[in-house]
Structure 1
Amino acid sequence: MRRRDVQRVPNIRYRDAGRRNLLDIYRRRDAPQNAPVLNYFHGGGYTGGAKNREARPLLYQLASQGWVCISANYRLRPQTTFPGHQIDAKKVIAWVREHAPEYGADPSGLFVAGSSAGSNLAALCALTPNDPVFQPGFESADTSVTAAICLYGYYGHYFGDPPDEPPPPLQPQGYIHPGAPPFLIAHGTKDALATVEGARNFVDQLRRASDSTVVYVELPGGQHAFDVFHSPRFEAVVDGVEAFAAWVLAAPQRTPDQPVSLFL
């Protein structure tokens, strides 16, 4: 999955919680300037996972195309609980706004992405720009994003919440609004951990409320964690992410009722 033309700059500190507040930067070795940014959060159910596990084909592919990609750790249970994970995710975005230009990035094109629990974080980041609840001590930082990419996300109840009640507002669907940025959501039909029905419900709510385009892709037979290994299925998803990102960057003025051509 590694590419000779891509440099990984590891273990940059963005906050003070030790290794859980480190991030890696992927960029092309010739250090392109004014590059768009992908900010990625790993999965693991808020209890495990690491910044160098999932989505590496995506990170290396976009970096080889001239992007600056950032993959970040964040605090996990029991070290923290909600909204601690989300505060860390917002801090990463604030760090990107301030420091990514030092690595050739232009944060005016900032995409947030994640897998499983990281998808939940990415979606909530996209739906809560500059919300002071998730930015204690850095309320003035710009945490808005250009678009969100959600891979096999979990959109249900947090630990300990009654399963027979609606998801609490700390879940992304509690923050859906007309001004949401464009979304690309990909989910496997055989996901045994984060059900495809949950993804369909989240997409339906987004499409009913948002003024931006919502692209939804179902992967027939796809299971959870389909981005851990390099596979034809994930190669197709990577191609789709590239097409979606190029469309968003090239045509930000496009309206939601105009067609989107993505070939997966």
Structure 2
Amino acid sequence: MPDPRESRRRSRALSHALWFARARPGDYLLAAARMSAGLPMIGRHLEPFGGFLALGLFAPGFAPGLLATTGRPHLPVGGVDRQRVRHGDTVAAVASGLADVVSGSVQWPAPTSLAPVFNSTAHRKHVRHASVPYGDQPGQVVDVWSRADLVGTDAPVLLFVPGGAWVFGSRKLQGHSLMSHLAEMGWVCLSLEYRTSPKHRWPRQLIDVKAAISWARANVGRYGGDPAFVAVAGCSAGGHLATLAGLTPDDRTPELPADADTTVDAVVSIYGSYDWEDRSTPERARFMSFLERVVVQRRQRARPETFRAASPMARMTSDAPPFLVIHGTKDFLIPIHEAETFAARLRSVSRSRVSYIPVPGGTHGFDLIDGTRTGPVVNAIGMFLDHVHRERRARVDTAV
């Protein structure tokens, strides 16, 4: 009778031989980065360099779009009048996308020429507890945001998932405008850090998001939050992760307890990615190659089921929670038609609310660099989440 251990050893040897036969110089560099990230003591500090290396080697096609989105959109080009026009266009788009939520008496924040990222220190005054573990692995931590005078244990909860092309997962900068605003509204926010590629291949990122949701359901009460209402939001790769978590609460993984509650009550995806299967254009082919070589570390043609399972476009169901999809019309990294298609398809399937806001002139990362558009969008997210929360409470009260 064949020895199973010998069969596994031969299979691994064959897999390694095939990798060496197909590998390019960049793959060897990436493998070295993964190995260095696993070193005791210093590996954690070297891990971000693997992410930078991966983007430089395997995503050079994204560079022109990245430069276009981060060049000068936060500067007051055209003066105060131009800022007011951009701000007015954003307010109009928000009012249209949330017509049944936004009232005519809303006081929208004034546009600013200062990039929101430069206000991060001021926003972080709402961080009440830093680096709270939600798991046993290094880096599985959240910061807890809330107002200093928050009392009780019934504040609605938002888990925020930062972006970073699935190779960065830091909670240090992104989402601060949103979480600060929600904290002022009386929410408890959890800013998530998670494991990333190339050291940790997919689906470790999603597993960490689900682990954090489960942790919040079980533990957020001690920080003033209501475990009965947990929403999730994210930007870019974080939007993808938030969306996928919202669409797949019943997916099980050995890394989570069988009784883990990973359901969410609402999802907000900001310039997220929704399609992990399409290779129809050169840009899509480059994106899929990046996923294959850096994030999933498997070929799509060999593991199509893995890519399909990770594609929100393929995971829609009628039981999806309420969704708010936000995307800039000038996003050169993830074109807006991907968000439009996702929102339209989800609306045709889901029994829950699906709202969509195209941000006129918004670029990828506008919430970090664009002071004219970020304020209205952040306020809109707050109104959407508050509306969903009030609807949920009304249903619960009626049932009782």
State TM-score, norm by structure 1.
Answer: 0.89
What secondary structure sits across from 2:145 in the alignment?
strand
What secondary structure sits across from 1:63 in the alignment?
helix
Give 2:150's match in structure 1, choosing from 11, 22, 31: 31
Unaligned regions of 5+ residues in structure 1, if any?
Answer: 255-264
What secondary structure sits across from 2:146 in the alignment?
strand
Instruction: State how many pairs are aligned.
Output: 252
Distance 2:162 2:124 in 1: 23
RMSD value, Cα = 2.3
Q: Find out whether 1:109 has 2:229 as its counterpart.
A: yes
The alpha-carbon deviation at position 237 of structure 1 amounts to: 0.7
Distance 1:78 1:213 in 2: 36
Task: Tell me if structure 2 keeps the 8 A contact 1:5–1:64.
Answer: no
Task: Tell me if structure 2 keeps the 8 A contact 1:57–1:230.
Answer: no
- Equivalent runs, 1:52-71 vs 2, <5 Å: 52-71=172-191
- Equivalent runs, 1:32-181 vs 2, <5 Å: 32-33=151-152, 34-133=154-253, 136-157=255-276, 159-160=291-292, 168-181=308-321
Distance 2:193 2:236 in 1: 14
Structure showing greater relative contact order (alpha-carbon pairs closer than 8 Å, 6 or more residues apart) = 2
- Partner AA of 1:248 in structure 2: V
Unaligned regions of 5+ residues in structure 2, if any?
Answer: 1-118, 277-287, 293-298, 395-400
* 1:231 alignment counterpart: 371
- Partner AA of 2:386 in structure 1: A
Task: State the Cα deviation string for residues 151-180 of structure 1 (Å, max 9, x = none).
Answer: 0001122502669x9962211122100010
Distance 1:46 1:3 in 2: 25
Distance 2:166 2:268 in 1: 19
- Partner AA of 1:48 in structure 2: F
Distance 1:130 1:101 in 2: 24
What secondary structure sits across from 1:121 in the alignment?
helix
Structure with higher strand content: 1
* 1:260 alignment counterpart: none
What secondary structure sits across from 2:368 in the alignment?
coil
- Partner AA of 2:371 in structure 1: S
CA separation of 1:4 and 1:86: change in aligned 2, threshold 3 A = closer
Distance 2:171 2:156 in 1: 20
* 2:387 alignment counterpart: 247
- Partner AA of 1:70 in structure 2: L
Question: Which deviates the most, 31-40 or 210-219?
Answer: 31-40
Stretches of 4+ moved more than 4 A in 1? none
Give 2:345's match in structure 1, choosing from 205, 211, 215: 205
The alpha-carbon deviation at position 129 of structure 1 amounts to: 1.4
Bigger Cα Rg: 2
Question: Which deviates the most, 226-235 or 4-13?
Answer: 4-13
* 2:95 alignment counterpart: none
Distance 1:187 1:181 in 2: 19
Q: Find out whether 1:191 has 2:331 as its counterpart.
A: yes
The alpha-carbon deviation at position 229 of structure 1 amounts to: 3.9
Task: State the Cα deviation string for residues 199-243 of structure 1 (Å, max 9, x = none).
Answer: 111111101111111000001111001122461311111111111
State TM-score, norm by structure 2.
Answer: 0.59
Task: Tell me if structure 2 keeps the 8 A contact 1:130–1:140.
Answer: no
CA separation of 1:123 and 1:96: change in aligned 2, threshold 3 A = same
The alpha-carbon deviation at position 4 of structure 1 amounts to: 8.6
Structure with higher helix content: 2
- Partner AA of 1:148 in structure 2: V
